[in-house]
Amino acid sequence: MTILPNYVTRPADSVHLQPYACRNTQLYGFYLRADKDVIQLRMVDPILNAPSGGAPEYRTFTDLVLMSFARAEHCTSTLPPASGMGWTVEYSWTLWVPLVVVKRELGIEVAQRVVFYPAYICVDNSWSLAAGREVYGFPKCYGPLTIPAASDPKATFSATTLVIPTFGADSPAQMLPLIAVTQTAINTGAQEVWQDLKDAVGAIGHMLSGSGSQVIVPGFSLILDLFHLAANEEVPGVFLKQFRDAADGNKACFQAIVEAGSFVEKFRGGGLLDGTFEATLADFDSHPLARDMGVGTGPQRLEFPFWVNFDFVINPGTNVWEAR
């Protein structure tokens, strides 16, 4: 067993001690119908499967990906001494790809457990950016976000970051929007309201069950895993954590596949958003969002728009694979 050295905390250090608690989080979610085969080819295989040689192996199983805009009003470390140092607000936009971990049994791929991969994520907080990348491997970029107040969810949602639209020696980086979500119509009927997390999970599960999603042959461990996630109110994430080598930047001095769970501590309510929504995805050479999702750059219809308000904790992660 490797004995790790103590982490040296420096003045103005922006990588604070995990676990992290995010309280009073207002999240707006929208499902985008992408192309799971394109996502597998462009995102999952090269980023999650290739480094480890497929041990573990991650597979897409649905064309639906979740886009979330979240405003966390109180983010802090949970362990002393960091827990007593203070807190910050964080705005974020994340594109979540649901995956299953598969294992070959008698020549058949059997799904073992469910995880969620944040293929794109933008935050407006430098502490969140540094800690998310260095501790877990979140692929975070930095930039301003537009998230309407809870009392007015009809305004435009957007995330902007530093991009290079077209690669070239004379191409300057620019601050441009990656994603914009707008309301296209308003309904007048009463919207579904969720009193607890089980209501929310049940509604989302019902939507996914009718979406044509197909899971690779589910193993008994996958069934147990789904019961575990529901009972423990957990959202498991998977990340590629790596650092460029100082001597040879084409090599990684550290590389690992990390899994970490986020646990809901308190659910304050949720429900469906009024009306219909559409998203416009950018397709820059530096951030080929539309290409990676297998969709066009024009307006894309979104499905199952919803909101939830909750407290959650991101727990310490596990290196499920590490380069040696």
Average pLDDT of the segment spanning 210-234? 51
Q: Which residue has the higher pLDDT, 103 or 161?
A: 161
Amino acid identity, position 26: Q
Residue 70 lies in a domain: yes
pLDDT digits (tens, 9 = 90+) for 67-117: 999 999 999 999 988 888 899 999 999 999 999 998 877 677 777 788 999
Residue 174 counted as domain residue? yes
CB 76 within 8 A of CB 25: no
**For residue range 49-59, what is the model confidence (pLDDT) as tens digits?**
999 998 899 99
Q: For residue 198, what pLDDT band results from cuts at 50, 70 and 90?
A: confident
Residue 13 lies in a domain: no
Residue 213 pLDDT class (50, 70, 90 cuts)? low
Using pLDDT thresholds of 50, 70 and 90, give the confidence band for residue 130. very high
Type and span of the H or E element at 105:
strand 88-105
- Amino acid type, 126: S
In a domain, 60, yes or no: yes
Question: Would residue 9 count as lying in a domain?
Answer: no
Percent of the chain with pLDDT over 90: 63
Report the candidate in 100, 102, 141 with the shortest Cα–Cα distance to residue 119: 141
The domain that contains 159 carries what CATH number?
Answer: 2.40.400.10
The three-state secondary structure class of 61 is: coil
Domain that holds residue 203: 20-322
Lowest mean pLDDT among 41-55, 85-99, 208-222: 208-222
Q: What share of the chain is helix, strand, coil (3-state, %, to 5)?
A: 20, 45, 35
Work out the pLDDT band at 225, boundaries 50, 70, 90. Answer: very low
Q: Tens digits of per-residue pLDDT, 238-256? A: 999 999 999 999 999 999 9
Distance CA 70, CA 133 (A): 18
Mean per-residue pLDDT, 24-34: 94
Q: Mean pLDDT over all residues of the chain? A: 88
Q: Which long-range contacts (CB under 8 A, 24 or more apart) does 102-110 make?
A: 102/57, 102/58, 102/59, 102/216, 103/56, 103/57, 103/219, 105/219, 108/217, 109/59, 109/216, 109/217, 110/216, 110/217, 110/218, 110/219, 110/222
Residue 184 has pLDDT above 70, yes or no: yes
pLDDT of residue 169: 97
Q: Is the dihedral of CA 121, 126, 128, 130 positive or negative?
A: positive
Q: What is the pLDDT of residue 1?
A: 63
φ, ψ (nearest 5 deg) of residue 84: -100, 10
Q: How far is CA 299 from CA 32, 119, 183, 281, in A?
A: 11, 20, 11, 8
Mean pLDDT of 119-138: 96
Q: What is the SS3 assignment for 96? A: strand
Q: Is 224 domain-assigned?
A: yes
- As a whole number, mean pLDDT of residues 6-33 equals 93
pLDDT digits (tens, 9 = 90+) for 296-322: 988 999 998 999 999 999 999 999 999
- Among candidates 37, 34, 87, 40, which has minimal Cα distance to 63? 34
**Whole-number Å distance between alpha carbons of 223 and 58:** 17
125 three-class SS: coil
- Its pTM stands at 0.90
Closest-CA residue to 94 (of 29, 151, 39, 22)? 29
Confidence band (pLDDT; 50, 70, 90) for 324?
confident
- What end-to-end distance do the CA atoms of the chain give, in Å? 13
Residues 6+ apart with CB under 8 A from 54: none
| Closest to 288 measured CA to CA, from 120, 46, 133, 68 | 120
pLDDT of res. 215: 53
CA atoms within 13 A on the CB side of 105: 12
Ranges 28-37, 72-81, 145-154, 285-294: which has the least confidence: 145-154
pLDDT value of residue 151: 62
Q: Does residue 194 carry a pLDDT above 50?
A: yes
Tell me, what DSSP letter sits at residue 106? T
Count how many domains the chain has.
Answer: 1
Residue 82 is predicted with a pLDDT of 85
26-36: average pLDDT: 94
Q: Is the pLDDT of residue 195 over 90?
A: no
Residue 102 lies in a domain: yes
Token pair listed for 22? 């995010």
| 7 domain-assigned | no
